[in-house]
């Protein structure tokens, strides 16, 4: 059912947005920054923070457009179906690489269809339990899963999401079977963990922060290589016995369509880097649980290639598929 709906949605989007291709750069007029998730979410928040400053550095309006659906792939498809003139940008991340890897029907290879022009931000994912949970540490949660096999649940926004990858990565390293409860979006995960219907959940740190401040959830660990500045008392996975060396940061960045003029792409890349040097941008990203982490084109492509290798191994170890 998911596969048929996914293919139909992509086909409809393709029919609506297809247009003649052009590799000529457009140097004036408004630009569109496509975001694959709804307004108000963590990706949308970060994209809007970046877009505001990017507009100033490029001297052109950068308008965020939420093209939701297909685990972020509708926005990516819209980029691929547009002109290669630099006027359409795509705000991508884990899903840009992982979803096509897990679902061959998507038919988009980021290395062939896009040109990564700049990384923007990093954040961590938070492994959380309800405030009333008896588990005070990740070790205690794992011990419960070992004592009662296939009894501990963890919720995520869906199969193949970065949150799902983190949950399976922890399960594999710990040698336990945590029961994955995939939802159709983060809001439902939040509702059920707050209601005590889930033993645990994996959130982006930015999503978890308000619940932590309200005393509604307890974060046991974060997935970044270091502790999150927003949650300084919470250990990084790699600090915890049995999980040393384990990390999976959540990254974000901007892409243009493959074939975009190299000079135009470099101009956008430089403008992204300049935008992320702005102290107000850094603060606003930090307020949302992100760290400004600029990386220019070229280096950014190499970074994604390494992340793709990690995703492939996790998917293989855990037999993750969304086909």
- Which CATH fold would you assign to the domain 125-239? D-Maltodextrin-Binding Protein; domain 2 (3.40.190)
pLDDT in the model for residue 321: 82
pLDDT in the model for residue 158: 86
Q: What is the pLDDT of residues 206-249, one digit of tens each?
A: 899 999 999 999 999 999 999 998 899 999 999 999 999 999 99
pLDDT mean over 251-264: 97
With 60 as the cut, is the pLDDT of residue 10 above it?
no
Q: Is the CB of residue 152 less than 8 Å from the CB of residue 145? A: yes
pLDDT in the model for residue 12: 46
- Which residues face 156 on adjacent strands? 182
pTM of the model: 0.85
2-123+250-318 and 125-239: identical CATH topology: yes
Q: Give buried/exposed letters for 247-285 (b at 16+ CB in 10 A, else e).
A: bbbbbbbbbbbbebbeebbebbbbbbbbbbebeebbebb
Q: Is the CB of residue 155 less than 8 Å from the CB of residue 181? A: yes
- Tokens at residue 298, please? 């070229």
Structure confidence at residue 27 as a pLDDT band (50, 70, 90): low
- Tokens at residue 297, please? 């084109």
With 60 as the cut, is the pLDDT of residue 18 above it?
no
With 70 as the cut, is the pLDDT of residue 14 above it?
no
pLDDT mean over 255-278: 97
Q: Is 1 helix (H, G, I), strand (E, B) or coil?
A: coil
**What secondary structure, in 3-state letters, does 106-164 show?**
HCCCHHHHEEEEEEEEEECEEEEEECCCCCCCHHHHHHHHHHCCCCCEEEECCCCCHHH
CA within 13 Å, CB half, 280: 5
- Tokens at residue 215, please? 């005393």
Q: Is the CB of residue 97 less than 8 Å from the CB of residue 308? A: yes
pLDDT in the model for residue 323: 63
Beta-sheet strand order (sheet of 250-257): 62-66, 31-35, 88-93, 250-257, 114-123, 291-296
pLDDT in the model for residue 294: 98
Least confident of 6-20, 193-207, 258-272, 306-320: 6-20
Q: Is the CB of residue 71 less than 8 Å from the CB of residue 161? A: yes
Question: Residue ranges per domain, the chain?
Answer: 2-123+250-318, 125-239
Which residues lie closer than 8 Å to 175 by C-beta, 6 or more apart? 146
pLDDT in the model for residue 26: 59
Q: Is the CB of residue 294 less than 8 Å from the CB of residue 118? A: yes
The percent of residues above 90 in pLDDT, for the chain, comes to 79
pLDDT in the model for residue 37: 86
Q: Does domain 2-123+250-318 have CATH number 3.40.50.300?
A: no
Give the DSSP letter of residue 78. Answer: H
- Tokens at residue 164, please? 């799902």
pLDDT in the model for residue 322: 77
pLDDT in the model for residue 1: 45
With 50 as the cut, is the pLDDT of residue 8 above it?
no
* Of 234, 6, 31, 185, the residue nearest 117 (C-alpha): 31
pLDDT mean over 60-87: 94
pLDDT in the model for residue 186: 82
With 50 as the cut, is the pLDDT of residue 22 above it?
no
- Tokens at residue 250, please? 């959540």
- Provide the mean pLDDT of the chain: 90
Structure confidence at residue 180 as a pLDDT band (50, 70, 90): very high
Angle of helix 299-318 relative to helix 162-174, nearest 10 degrees? 60
CA distance 173 to 180: 16
4 vs 146: which has the higher pLDDT: 146
């Amino acid at each position: 059912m998911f596969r048929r709906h996914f293919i139909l949605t992509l086909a409809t989007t393709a029919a609506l947005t297809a247009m003649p291709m052009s590799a000529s750069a457009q140097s004036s007029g408004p630009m569109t920054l496509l975001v694959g998730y709804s307004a108000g979410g963590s990706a949308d928040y970060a994209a809007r923070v970046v877009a505001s400053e990017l507009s100033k550095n490029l001297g052109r309006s950068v308008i965020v457009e939420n093209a939701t659906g297909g685990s972020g792939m509708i926005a990516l498809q819209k980029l691929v179906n547009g002109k290669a003139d630099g006027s359409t940008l795509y705000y991508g991340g884990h899903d840009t690489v992982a979803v096509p890897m897990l679902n061959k029907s998507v038919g988009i290879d980021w290395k062939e269809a896009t040109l990564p022009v700049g990384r923007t931000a990093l954040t961590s994912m938070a492994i959380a339990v309800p405030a009333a949970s008896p588990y005070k540490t990740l070790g205690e949660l794992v011990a419960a899963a070992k004592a009662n096999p296939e009894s501990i649940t963890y919720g995520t926004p869906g199969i193949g999401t970065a949150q799902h990858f983190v949950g399976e990565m922890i399960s594999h390293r710990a040698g336990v079977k945590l029961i994955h409860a995939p939802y159709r979006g983060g809001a439902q995960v939040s509702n059920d963990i707050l209601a005590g219907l889930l033993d645990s959940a994996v959130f982006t740190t930015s999503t978890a922060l308000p619940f932590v401040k309200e005393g509604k959830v307890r974060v046991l660990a974060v997935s970044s290589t270091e502790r999150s500045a927003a949650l300084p008392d919470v250990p990084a996975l790699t600090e915890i016995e049995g999980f040393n060396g384990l990390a999976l940061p959540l990254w974000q960045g901007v892409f243009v369509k493959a074939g975009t003029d190299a000079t135009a792409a470099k101009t956008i890349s430089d403008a992204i880097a300049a935008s992320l040097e702005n102290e107000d941008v850094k603060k606003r990203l930090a307020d949302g649980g992100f760290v400004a982490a600029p990386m220019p084109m070229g280096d950014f492509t190499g970074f994604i290639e390494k992340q793709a290798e990690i995703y492939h191994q996790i998917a293989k170890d855990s037999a993750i598929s969304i086909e």
